[in-house]
Amino acid sequence: MTQIEVRKKILAENEARAATLRERFDARGALVLNLISSPGSGKTSLLEATARRMADEVEMGALVGDIATELDAERLRAAGLPAHQIVTAGACHLDARFVEDALAAAPFALPELLFVENVGNLVCPASYVLGEDYKVALLSVTEGADKPFKYPAIFTRAAVTLITKVDLAEHVDFDLAKVREHVLSLNPAARVLELSVRTGQGLDAWCALLREGVAAKRGARAEALA
């Protein structure tokens, strides 16, 4: 097989596996989000803050992908979010098989709201579906406003884009309005939220979005069972 054929085969196998995962998520009525960003855009911090706000009202869990270390899962557990670390041992993205194996190994049952925190990488994770309901892209203001056009795949495919660390916007050159416009030009249906875990800005809107999604999945499951 040529390199292109191998890649096509890998992606096709992954999609089949992800479709099976998605059926399982839907049967449970679980909302599953695939969080993708550069290293250090604030995925783990956002999940910590989310757990602190919502752990009492929604049953949550997280699978956390990293090339090395268990640091992120430890941080999430300390914040009250059941979390299982996926150490990819070099792989630059999660695929459906990692998620399958992690669900089998995790010390918690599939919750109503499952976060899959991908490896910090704005490129490769965009090509691998994991059975998620939707992708969430994070872009911190310190990364610069040119990123949506430079990494179009993820910003085209993410239903939600979170502009993070907006408390630092005054210290860097970042035009929030322009970035919002760029993201929407790539994906006109995208929801774009501005967030700061440090100040709390935007967290109400983010949690409202999660509640809305969880309620919709619950409703769809109840209908399917009726």
Binding stretches for its own copies (CB under 8 A): 1, 3, 6, 10, 38-40, 66-69, 71-72, 90, 92, 119-124, 140, 142-144, 146-147, 149-153, 165, 167-168, 171-172
For residues 30 and 162, which CB has a smaller minimum distance to its own copies in the complex? 162
Nearest approach in angstroms of CB 125 to its own copies is 10
Nearest residue to 91 (alpha-carbon basis) of 82, 83, 102, 80: 102
Nearest approach in angstroms of CB 41 to its own copies is 8
Nearest approach in angstroms of CB 175 to its own copies is 14
Nearest approach in angstroms of CB 179 to its own copies is 12
For residues 180 and 217, which CB has a smaller minimum distance to its own copies in the complex? 180
For residues 172 and 215, which CB has a smaller minimum distance to its own copies in the complex? 172
Nearest residue to 67 (alpha-carbon basis) of 123, 118, 9: 118
Q: What are the C-alpha distances in Å from 31 to residues 101, 199, 223?
A: 19, 27, 16
As given in the structure block, the two tokens for residue 76 are 């999430």
Strands across the sheet containing 83-87: 83-87, 60-66, 113-117, 31-37, 134-140, 160-164, 191-194
